Amino acid sequence: MNGDPPDILIAEDNAEHAQLALHAFKRHRLKNQIHVVGDGRQALDFMFCKGAYEDRVRPAGGELILLDLGLPEIGGLEVLGKLKANPETKSVPVVMLTASNIGNDIKESFRLGADAYIVKPVTFQAFFDAVAQTGIGWALVR
């Protein structure tokens, strides 16, 4: 990794939730490049530089994914499984940011390799604290 901050991908089908996250990042003056996609297929295309993202170059500074569980097209757990099963993306930190507090969703997320699991709604400070506790706090660059 070089000195560039990692890109952040927000995979969130609820436009209001995505806007709240973007607003929180802006308010806290994060320098990360932030991308938003609305479904699981777009998230995978983005991460694997396919489809509409075939010209995208993966950033030298790395990536961090905020992944909603209930995405259309391809669900969050399936996206997580595909990312963690691929050698190119398995080390990319994934934070499950979802409304589900169901025990099975939490267990399955961690079994598939999630780095953190945060139940919405969440304040930016709670999010920042949770990410810092996972050891991936480096990803949020102010």
The CA–CA distances, whole Å, from 131 to 51, 57, 84, 115, 117 equal: 30, 25, 18, 8, 9
Task: Read off the pLDDT of residues 34-75 as tens digits, 9 standing for 90 and up.
Answer: 899 999 999 999 999 999 999 999 888 789 999 999 999 999
- Structural domain includes residue 61: yes
- Structural domain includes residue 1: no
How far apart are the C-alpha atoms of 65 and 68, rounded to whole Å? 10
Residue 80 has pLDDT above 50, yes or no: yes
Task: Read off the pLDDT of residues 114-126 as tens digits, 9 standing for 90 and up.
Answer: 998 988 766 767 6
- Structural domain includes residue 2: no
Residue 1 has pLDDT above 80, yes or no: no
Share of the chain above pLDDT 90, in %: 50
Count up the domains in the chain and report the number. Answer: 1
pLDDT on residue 12: 94
The CA–CA distances, whole Å, from 10 to 92, 95, 103, 136 equal: 13, 10, 23, 16
Residues of the domain holding 90:
7-139
pTM to 2 decimal places? 0.85
CATH of residue 14: 3.40.50.2300
pLDDT on residue 113: 97
